Every structure is written in C-alpha cells, then in structure tokens.
Amino acid sequence: MNSKKCILISQVWLTPGREAFRDMLEVSVEYCRILNPDSYIVLSGMGMSPTEKTLKACDAVCWNEDIVEPPGCGFPIMIGKGLRLAKEKGFEKVFKFRGDAVILQENVVSHCEEVLESEDKHLLITQETTRTHWVGDMVLYGDIEFLIEMFNTETWIPNVSGNDALARNYMNLTGYNGEDWTSFLKRRCSFRDIPFFKWTDLRDNYDYIKYFKDNLEYIRQNGTLNNEFNYSDFLYGKRRQVHLFDENHNPIVDRPMIHPTMMYERYFYK
C-alpha cells in the first residue's frame, strides 16, 4: 500500500482463558480497516495467533508466540517492535491504540494530524494522562522516532503502571526538572479527550459485541456509521464510571472521582 498514514494496533496478548480478546481484536481491526482504508495497519502482539480474518486485514504483523512481558506494565517490548516495523516501512508518524478498543473516528490519522499542525506540537495525548505525572499509554499519535524512545525498554521502569513508566521516559527525554506537569506537557503536546477519537472499549462492553458487529455490517452496506449506533454509551471508562462526558462531550467532573487528578482538555488548555 502506498500510504503516508500508519496505524499501530498493539497491547494485545492472547492466552488460554482470554479467547474473548481474540474476538475483540478481530472486531477492532475490522473497524480500523473499514474506517481507515488508506492507512497502513501494523499489528503487534503475543500469544495465540489472531484469527485469519484479523491477519488479512493488516498490512504488517509482528507477533511473538511466547508471552515475553507481563500485562499491566505498558508492554514496551511489543509496542517498540511495532513502532520500529512502522519506521522500517518508511513512516514518520503513527497513531497507536489498543487492540481491545474500537476507534470509530474515520481517517483518524488525518484527524489527529490536523490538531498537531494547528497547535504546532509533536505529540497528541489523551486519558489516562494525569495532572501529576502520568502520560496515557493506550492512545497516542505523533513522531515515530520520539515514540520509539518513549517506549525504550532499556530505560523503561518495570513493575509500575505503563502510564507511569511512559511518563518517566518522557521526563528523561525532555529534561523535566520538577515544574508544573501540565505546563511542561504543553510545550510539546496537544491534548484531546476520549470523544475526539470516538474511542470505545470492548473490554467493559463485550456483552454488546453483537451490537458492534451489526454496526460493522451496516457500514459495509451503507458506507457510513449507523446513526442509531450510540457509540457514546461505550466510550472508554464510561461503564466503570472512570470517565463520564455529557452530550456535548464535556467531562463530568463535579462528582467523586476514582482518579481526582485525571487530565481533561478543560484543565490542559485553561
């Protein structure tokens, strides 16, 4: 494929007892392919092989049959492999997300690039970034060279949250000296909330997987999302009450928060 747009689907591990995630990955990749027809899709993961349908929908796959790193620590080995493969293919920027998510924003690379160009920044970040020191590791868009360094396994701190480890690598790369974290991030980063990406989560909503599959069929037949598919019901974090947004996609923060220092656009740009 002759494309300047690259998408990396990663943070995928398929092991016995996690068969549902094989199904989630297939749905995630199918949506990615149909909504981003001009993008080069790289899949990076480990464990049992994905389905044949999943593999055929991707342009490149780097897969470890063995489980080479534990869950919960950010998966820098897996993500780093995918990033380096994308770089070898000649890409300079990449949109990265988890394989148990569905990104419903069409042409998401162009959607993100418009933000960086308009704000003259290098990296687009979102939740689970905090106002203290985390950088969300699940959805990112930016320069591949810089992301490779951010997920550098040689400097990665093990046994902490991937958001924490990613932030510490970011600090080391950019010369953080203890100043206000939000102000520091704003030097290089743009920020958008979950609804900007139409980032939905299959882990918390697997009981609605048929709903997602039916909508896929609707897109195939009609070339557009079904207006009756209320994707906002399935946005990342909503089911667990971690992230809530109103009908205008403003965060609802006047409530008890599981993570009271969570970053939102309203805080990032105030």
- Give residue-wise pLDDT tens across range 59-88: 999 999 999 998 888 999 999 999 999 999
The answer to whether the predicted template modeling score (pTM) of the entire model surpasses 0.85 is yes
**How many CB atoms are closer than 10 A to CB 211?**
16
Q: pLDDT at residue 8 above 80?
A: yes
pLDDT score for 1: 58
Listed residue (81, 143, 136) closest to 112, CA to CA: 143
Stated as kind and residue range, the H or E segment containing 108 is helix 108-119
Is-contact 129 191, C-beta < 8 A?
yes
pLDDT at residue 4 greater than cutoff 90: no
Measured at the alpha carbon of residue 220, what is the angle toward residues 218 and 221, in degrees to the nearest 5? 65
Question: CB within 8 A of 183, min separation 6: which ones?
Answer: none
Question: What sign does the CA torsion over 135, 137, 142, 143 have?
Answer: positive
> What is the average pLDDT across 240-253?
94
CATH of domain 6-268: 3.90.550
**Above 90 in pLDDT, residue 259?**
no
- Given this model, what pLDDT does residue 2 score? 60
Q: What is the mean pLDDT of the chain?
A: 95
Domain ranges for the chain: 6-268
Per residue in 32-41, pLDDT tens? Answer: 999 999 999 9
Contact (CB, 8 A) for 96 and 140: yes
Region 153-178: what's the mean pLDDT?
95
